[in-house]
Amino acid sequence: MPWPKGEYPPSYKNLKKPLREKAVEIANAILEESGDEGLAIATGLKRARASMKKEVKTNKGIPTKPSNMSMHTIKVTLDHIDYSFQVSEHPHHDALRCKFGIHYHGKLVATFAPDRHQILHLCKNHGTLSEPLLHLIAEKVEQLHPYGFFSQ
């Protein structure tokens, strides 16, 4: 029997709502075709996760900045080459999200999170930036946000 809107299999209870709703939608379609509830639940979740990943990925798998996020420009020099990056700040950052996104020509190339002393640590190097360049970026961002937030 299909799951009506707002209801879902018990194994979906800890999923985030958008993923759960997509999984139920897919599972209902599979259940209607096959009649196998176990197959519908497993396949619905697998396909929903794949679908959500496709929605997030852009530019050959490199996410871009959300359009509603303010950006701060930083400039660093390495080996006599000047680089200009845009830094996005996530003020509601938690253990699951990195606080700062580093963008180069509109593409996310690295993310950083501060420790309890506001020292930045690399979360992910999306753009395969060199380690010396990453250190310069982190130092520049640390200088600009001594209390964890950029000045407005």
Q: What is the pLDDT of residue 96?
A: 56
Question: What's the CA gap between 23 and 15, in Å, rounded?
Answer: 9
Q: What are the tens digits of pLDDT across the range 31-51?
A: 888 889 999 899 988 888 887
Contact of 112 with 121, CB cutoff 8 Å: yes
When the pLDDT of each residue in the chain is averaged and rounded to a whole number, the result is 80
Tokens of 113: 């999170």
Q: What are the tens digits of pLDDT across the range 45-97?
A: 888 888 777 655 544 454 444 444 567 889 999 999 999 999 888 765 555 56
Q: What is the pLDDT of residue 144?
A: 78
Question: What's the CA gap between 63 and 109, in Å, rounded?
Answer: 9
Q: What is the pLDDT of residue 35?
A: 87
For the entire predicted model, the pTM comes to 0.51
Instruction: Looking at mean pLDDT, say which of 54-63, 92-101, 102-111, 139-148 comes out highest.
Output: 102-111
Helix, strand, coil percent content, the chain, rounded in steps of 5? 35, 25, 40
- pLDDT bin (cut points 50, 70, 90) of residue 130 is very high
Spans of all domains in the chain: 10-56, 71-144
Q: Does the pLDDT at position 121 exceed 60?
A: yes
Q: Does the pLDDT at position 109 exceed 90?
A: yes
